[in-house]
């Protein structure tokens, strides 16, 4: 390739609430993207989004998109505990340039992913042809709220809304979570996953190729918490065909988020 083509489908801007990150602005993210030939990224929000998906946060994300020359796409956020307010925000921003989907985070919101209060956002996504991307992880003894976001808990809604493109962020985490995520990719045409976060597995992509799901895997980093290079090298060094690497790096995300 002679020009940047990579899509990072999992980044954040703004200060996180529990992690120290030295680079949190859109400008710093763009400098990193230029350094590693990343064409565009999908901003899944900041701690402010998690604490309250206000129109102001969406206006900030839209401004970053415009000032980046269309390189920083962004998502809205839905918390089932404030469903009416968040749906109103989503209704306002749907159609804005750069707006590409809806993020949910059951572990942060302390509401399990199969709770009936999520029905409204799945209906909204269906009616507006928007993908949903969700925090997912495996059950964890040291972080027990992760049990609210295990991949299987999303399956009832993913099956009920087969026209909603659904992304399991973090690939379901580790161990059983990742196995469940792969199973769901194989069983549901509308389910995808990104591998943003601290997911470091030997032969990760070779195993996904053997499972036949590489066409449903999106490149993602979870920047600024994770350095781009740690995930770029996983793909570059993977023992998979060049066409598969290109699909992971850009084609799959382009299809899911209609970039």
pLDDT exceeds 90 at position 199: no
Q: Which tokens belong to 148?
A: 């609210």
Q: Confidence band (pLDDT; 50, 70, 90) for 15?
A: confident
Looking at the whole model, is its pTM more than 0.85?
yes
Strands 38-43 and 6-11: parallel
Q: What is the predicted pLDDT for the residue at 2?
A: 66
- On the 0-12 / 13-18 / 19+ scale of CB atoms within 10 A, 49 is buried
pLDDT exceeds 60 at position 8: yes
- CA distances (Å), origin 53, targets 14, 30, 166: 14, 24, 20
pLDDT tens digits, residue range 49-75? 777 768 889 999 999 999 999 999 999
> What are the domain boundaries of the chain?
6-257
Report the percentage of the chain scoring pLDDT > 70.
98
For the segment(s) 6-257, the CATH number from 3.40.50.800, 1.10.8.640, 1.10.760.10, 3.20.20.140 is 3.20.20.140
CB environment 52-86: b (16+ within 10 A), e (fewer): ebeeebbebbbebbeebeebbbbbbbbbbeebeeb
pLDDT exceeds 90 at position 19: no
By the 8 A CB rule, do 60 and 67 touch?
no
pLDDT exceeds 60 at position 1: no
């Amino acid at each position: 390739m002679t020009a940047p083509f990579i899509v990072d489908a999992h980044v954040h801007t703004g200060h996180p609430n529990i992690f120290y990150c030295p680079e949190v602005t859109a400008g710093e993210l763009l400098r990193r993207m230029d350094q590693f030939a990343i064409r565009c990224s999908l901003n899944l929000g900041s701690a402010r989004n998690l604490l309250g998906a206000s129109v102001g946060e969406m206006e900030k994300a839209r401004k970053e998109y415009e000032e980046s020359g269309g390189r920083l796409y962004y998502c809205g956020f839905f918390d089932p505990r404030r469903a009416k307010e968040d749906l109103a925000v989503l209704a306002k921003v749907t159609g804005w340039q750069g707006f590409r989907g809806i993020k949910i985070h059951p572990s942060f919101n302390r509401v399990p992913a199969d709770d009936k209060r999520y029905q409204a956002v799945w209906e909204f996504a269906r009616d507006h042809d928007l993908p949903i991307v969700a925090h997912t992880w495996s059950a964890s003894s040291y972080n027990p709220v992760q049990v609210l976001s295990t991949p299987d808990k999303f399956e009832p809604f993913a099956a009920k809304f087969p026209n909603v493109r659904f992304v399991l962020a973090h690939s379901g985490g580790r161990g059983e979570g990742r196995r469940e995520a792969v199973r769901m990719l194989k069983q549901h045409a509308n389910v995808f996953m990104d591998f943003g976060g601290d997911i470091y597995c030997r032969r990760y992509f070779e195993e996904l190729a053997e499972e036949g799901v590489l066409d449903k895997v999106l490149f993602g980093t979870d920047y600024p918490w994770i350095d781009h290079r740690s995930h770029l090298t996983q793909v570059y060094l993977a023992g998979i065909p060049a066409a598969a690497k290109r699909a992971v790096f850009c084609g799959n995300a382009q299809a899911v988020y209609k970039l």
